[in-house]
Homo-oligomer: A and B are copies of this chain.
Amino acid sequence: MQITFLGTSSGVPTRSRNVSSIAMRLPQRAEVWLFDCGEGTQHQIMRSDVRASQITKIFITHMHGDHIFGLMGLLASCGLAGDVKHIDIYGPPGLNDYLNACQRYSETRLAYSVKVHAVKQGLVFANDEFEVTCAPLKHRVTAHGFRVTEKDRPGRFDIDKAKALDIPPGPIYAQLKRGETVTLDDGRRIDGKEFCGSPIIGRKFVYCTDTIYCDKAVALAKDADVLIHEATFAHQDAELAIQRLHSTSTMAAQVALNAGVKDLIMTHFSPRYAPTNAITLEDLLTEARMIFANTHLAYDFMTFEVGSSLKK
């Protein structure tokens, strides 16, 4: 689960930060999931190690332009690249109609199939390895945070111990690997759990934007390895955050603290905190770390492995 930030600015792009998008590369497979798709996301992908042709799922938090205006261009380009078979898109109600309108007016015909799923609180998607859930956030329009949970895997099976006990190889081994109890032909009852190491706990990645501080974000982020949370404003601009239903650095940190996550990465910064201005992102970082020490600032093309510890 490798995350790459493709855009970390709120509202408008700047020279160094594009508008929102995050790519997640799945482990051991050529598959990429995208979260949000602001204008210029396909350009950012082109400048990164992410391959657009590997995108299979796109999750959209909400319908504001800085999170969706790159979607049609990306879908059209994936079509021209010619190696995409199907893309599932998950987002708020209205997303399907928006994409249909864009396709109709621009006469864009995609050479692959797209299915748009309207999300509601709860389970969004699950397969053998992953589960994606979402929760409503608190913004001016319907917005959802997403949580990707890698399922726990059984611990390593001790094949030597099984052989030493003269357990005959075959389907029985598979049952034991799953931790089941089996009765052998010679009458012995064998508990699989005694042959398995501790289960490998799955990783958890949570993405919350756009939102002001809310309890649903805390619940969604519970015990996550990494929480990516918007921090549009500095603490001293809290009034703007409250007016516009965005988060301050300290709100993002409070969510991280209350949820007990390992690391918090703040993103979706207002362009007003450019390096030469009175308040800079370093101030936002300092403010957040007073509340939650393991806080980091996202930047465009920042890449990290979920589950590995982030450098401070």
Chain A residues in the interface with B (C-beta under 8 A): 11-15, 18, 39-40, 42-43, 46-47, 63-66, 68-70, 72-73, 76-77, 80-81, 94-95, 97-98, 101-102, 105-108, 140-141
Q: How many copies does the complex hold?
A: 2
**Residues on the B chain within 8 Å of A63, using CB:** 105-107
Residue in contact with A65 in the complex, picked from B39, B76, B95, CB distance below 8 Å: B76
Known pairs A13-B77, A69-B73, A101-B101. 15 more at Cβ < 8 A? A11-B77, A12-B42, A12-B80, A14-B46, A15-B47, A39-B39, A39-B40, A63-B107, A64-B107, A65-B72, A65-B102, A65-B106, A69-B76, A98-B101, A101-B102
Closest 5 CB pairs of A and B: A98-B105, A39-B73, A101-B101, A69-B73, A65-B106
Say yes or no: A69 contacts B106, CB within 8 Å. Answer: yes
CA distance A80 to B271 in the complex (A): 11
Say yes or no: B43 contacts A42, CB within 8 Å. Answer: no
Residue in contact with A102 in the complex, picked from B11, B70, B102, CB distance below 8 Å: B102
Listed A/B pairs (10) with beta-carbon separation below 8 Å: A12-B76, A63-B106, A64-B107, A64-B108, A65-B102, A69-B76, A97-B105, A101-B102, A102-B102, A107-B141
